[in-house]
Amino acid sequence: MPEPEAKIAKILFRFYSDILEQEMEETIWAIVADESRGHYQLDSIPFYVSNIATDDIVYAEYDDTEEMLMYRETIQPSGNSTIWVVVTNEDVDIDEVRAVFDELDCLSEPLSNRFFAMEVKAQTNYLHVKDKLNALKAEGQIDYTEPCLSKQHQY
């Protein structure tokens, strides 16, 4: 018997970006974990919001002014990490860089032809990912930041 399709929702995050030095907002897809308690499991990789990652359980509530769910707090971190990567060498194809990390079991989503957000699952050995990030950075191909590095990945 097929599993029922998960109920999804969009959650609005409002925050100040230290990188861009301005107020920002981002909507992120989530799976309804416990609607009565306002708990949602994040289902997309954040492009701008730091300190959250896919599969985190967050508390969100409906905001009448915004007419949508608003993030209030993280209830349970997933152990996943979020890495933002910018391709700094114009001769390097973003899809080739993403493929390198895909082989290390890291899913990613491009925002442009130069920037992508990457998910590192809790069970992934981050040392291998970090080594590859540092090697590509040393070669002048990319730069990166770790806006959400889980405790499992802090070595």
Q: Tell the CATH topology of 81-153.
A: Alpha-Beta Plaits (3.30.70)
Nearest Cα to Cα of residue 50 among 151, 155, 150, 146: 146
**The pLDDT value given to residue 79:** 97
Rounded to whole angstroms, the Cα distance separating 142 from 129 reads 13
Give residue limits of the domains in the chain.
8-76, 81-153
pLDDT over 60 (residue 66): yes
| Confidence at residue 6, expressed as pLDDT on a 0 to 100 scale | 80
Band (pLDDT 50/70/90 cuts) for residue 89 is very high
Task: Work out the percent of the chain whose per-residue pLDDT is above 70.
Answer: 97
Backbone φ, ψ for residue 118 (5° rounding): -130, 140
Query: 3-state SS of the chain: helix, strand, coil percent to 5?
Result: 20, 45, 40
Alpha-carbon distance 102 to 65, whole Å?
40
Q: How confident is the model at residue 18 (pLDDT cuts 50, 70, 90)?
A: confident
Cα 64 to Cα 53, 68, 126, distances in angstroms: 26, 7, 41
Residue 36 has pLDDT above 80, yes or no: yes
Considering the entire predicted model, what is its pTM? 0.91
